[in-house]
Amino acid sequence: MVQIDLSGKVVLVLGGSRGIGEGIVRVLCSAGAVVVFTHTGKRENRTRIAALLDEIAQQGGRAEEAAVDAADPAGTAELAALVADRHGKIDGLVCNAGRNLARPVEQIDPEVWAENIELNLGSAFYGIQAVLPHMIKARFGRIVLVGSTAVFDGGSGAIDYVAAKAGMSGLMAYICRNYARGGITANIIHPSAIETELLMVRYADPDKKSRLLAEIPAGRLGKPEDIAGLAAFLLSSWGDYICGQQLVADGGRTLFNR
Ligand SMILES: NC(=O)c1ccc[n+]([C@@H]2O[C@H](COP(=O)([O-])OP(=O)(O)OC[C@H]3O[C@@H](n4cnc5c(N)ncnc54)[C@H](OP(=O)(O)O)[C@@H]3O)[C@@H](O)[C@H]2O)c1
């Protein structure tokens, strides 16, 4: 039987406590990986994170959490060192932490711009920089970035968000060109409308939500698992020959709305 087998793999997921990231954590654990995921450390999330860890443990999986701001390079490097020390290696990195605060260009002052670029793009760079020494040493690494189809159609959120997500493709290309011969690959998954808190905040209005649904040929919003399965595939041996790709998982929305 064909399976996605991640047993023995150690994967760091940046932003894994909710939504797509949580889905990725669940799927990677169920495929046998040891997963360390980060979150912001908000007090109100504690119970939910504890329940997630509990559920994974009860299913025989292994996950650990860490409150590390994804926009903190030193904290991210420290965490990577700790993971490598505790588990002996880091096979995979998933850069998923992100935020899209919809507002027009006129409302974005330099501080807001810098802050959102830092979270949406800086976090991926800091993650890559933190895991790379460990991957280089092992001559093996799988990097999966979570972008957005907004890079193809502009999206309906914020310009800083689209710019940051487009920048992630540059990170990916650079890694492939310079590190693939050393066994390290990078790919980017572009989701569109995935049913998570980040999306629902923007589509709380039922009319707006049905207009969104009408744009999706698949006839439904995406689920975190739709992205998680793809991430697991890329992190597994099935993804060994996939490098430098932009994979769109959007139920057909981007093509349909060109
Ligand atoms: N949902 C969509 O339709 C959609 C579409 C295209 C792209 N995406 C991308 O997919 C990714 C996940 O989106 P989502 O919808 O799952 O978002 P979400 O539900 O808001 O979850 C975001 C995750 O990132 C974590 N995070 C946010 N800021 C962080 C920080 N500064 N440091 C550490 N962790 C942080 C959050 O942790 P806390 O729980 O602690 O806040 C949470 O685990 C994002 O990069 C987003 O841009 C989503």
Domain residue limits, the chain = 10-256
pLDDT tens, position by position, 53-73? 999 999 999 999 999 999 999
Q: Answer yes or no: CATH 3.30.70.260 is held by domain 10-256.
A: no
Considering the entire predicted model, what is its pTM?
0.98
Beta pairing partners, 184? 141
Residues labelled catalytic: 161
Ligand 1 pocket check for 164: Cβ under 6 Å:
no
Per-residue model confidence as pLDDT tens digits over 13-46: 999 999 999 999 999 999 999 999 999 999 999 9
Computed over every residue of the chain, the mean pLDDT equals: 96
Ligand 1 contact, 202 CB (< 6 A): no
Nearest atom (ligand 1) to Cα of 19: 16
Find out whether the beta carbon of 253 lies less than 6 Å from any atom of ligand 1. Answer: no
Atom number of ligand 1 nearest to Cα 95: 45
Confidence bin at 255 (pLDDT 50/70/90): very high
Q: Is 45 in the pocket of ligand 1 (CB under 6 A)?
A: yes
Token pair listed for 24: 């990725």
